[in-house]
């Protein structure tokens, strides 16, 4: 059953690209999440409104539809703006960019809630105490908030990462040659769809297992020095 007719390298290439998309998305998604949480906790009604709209819309829409909107709609939008500015040539959003942006956008919406919860979980007195001993805003963030927010947010972010890893498979729909796309290509050539989708499934499962081990390790590390209940 494991005779892949020489398609191993194709799957490995796909898996590598899947990993790259996932990592790029998580970095951008964390930025979105931090911005979202800051906006949600800010005093400005406008910022709070934008952040609330962002999380509500993203969490209510299928990821696939969002991807299609950003890939097809976004391409058209960029095109329209470009020709509106007097541009002549044709502009294309590469699938990698559209995919990464979509996944980061979705990740960011959920991460906003995780970060908001984590920031609120830091006792207020500690922040006040830090200001009282003369720390600046940035120092309070780096020395008091960050180490604790990190620990509170890690389990939630870990779950989001696992979801993101699986969602990367959707990008195959807009023709990015990641793992799922390559499995489809190989399945089409060999007429053995079960074999290739099964292998793809195993590779995703392996990614999940490795991620869970890394997450467990980092949660333990983030918890060091905390008294056990």
Please tell me whether residue 170 binds other proteins under the rule CB under 8 A.
yes
Of 37 and 58, CB closest to other proteins: 58
Cβ contacts of 154 within 8 Å, gap of 6 or more: 215, 218, 219, 222
- Min dist CB 174 to other proteins, Å, is 11
Give the residue ranges of DSSP H helices in the chain. 8-40, 45-60, 63-68, 74-84, 95-121, 124-132, 137-140, 146-167, 179-190, 193-222
What is the token pair recorded at 15? 């898996």
Please tell me whether residue 187 binds other proteins under the rule CB under 8 A.
yes
How far is the C-alpha of 66 from the C-alpha of 25, rounded, in Å? 15
Number of residues forming the site for other proteins (CB under 8 A): 39
How far is the C-alpha of 76 from the C-alpha of 80, rounded, in Å? 6
Please tell me whether residue 200 binds other proteins under the rule CB under 8 A.
yes
Please tell me whether residue 172 binds other proteins under the rule CB under 8 A.
yes
Please tell me whether residue 4 binds other proteins under the rule CB under 8 A.
no
Q: Which residue in 73, 94, 136, 147 binds other proteins (CB under 8 A)? A: 73
Please tell me whether residue 138 binds other proteins under the rule CB under 8 A.
no
Residues of this chain that interact with other proteins (CB under 8 A) are 57, 59-66, 68-69, 72-73, 76-77, 162, 166-170, 172-173, 180, 184, 187, 191-195, 197-198, 200-201, 204-205, 208-209
């Amino acid at each position: 059953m494991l005779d892949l007719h020489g398609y191993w390298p194709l799957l490995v290439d796909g898996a590598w690209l899947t990993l790259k998309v996932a990592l790029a998305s998580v970095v951008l998604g964390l930025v979105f999440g931090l911005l979202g949480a800051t906006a949600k906790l800010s005093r400005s009604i406008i910022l709070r409104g934008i952040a609330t709209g962002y999380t509500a819309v993203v969490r209510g829409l299928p990821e696939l539809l969002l991807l299609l909107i950003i890939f097809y709609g976004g391409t058209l939008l960029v095109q329209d703006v470009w020709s509106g500015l007097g541009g002549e040539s044709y502009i294309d959003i590469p699938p990698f960019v559209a995919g990464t942006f979509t996944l980061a956008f979705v990740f960011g919406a959920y991460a906003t809630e995780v970060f908001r919860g984590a920031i609120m979980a830091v006792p207020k007195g500690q922040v006040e105490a830090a200001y009282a001993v003369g720390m600046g805003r940035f120092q309070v963030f780096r020395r008091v908030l960050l180490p604790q927010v990190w620990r509170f947010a890690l389990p939630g972010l870990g779950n989001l990462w696992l979801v993101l890893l699986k969602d990367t498979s959707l990008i195959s729909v807009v023709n990015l040659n990641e793992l799922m796309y390559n499995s489809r290509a190989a399945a089409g050539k060999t007429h053995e769809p079960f074999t290739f989708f099964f292998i793809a499934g195993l590779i995703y499962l392996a990614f999940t297992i490795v991620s869970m081990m890394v997450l467990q390790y980092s949660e333990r590390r983030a918890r060091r020095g905390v008294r056990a209940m």
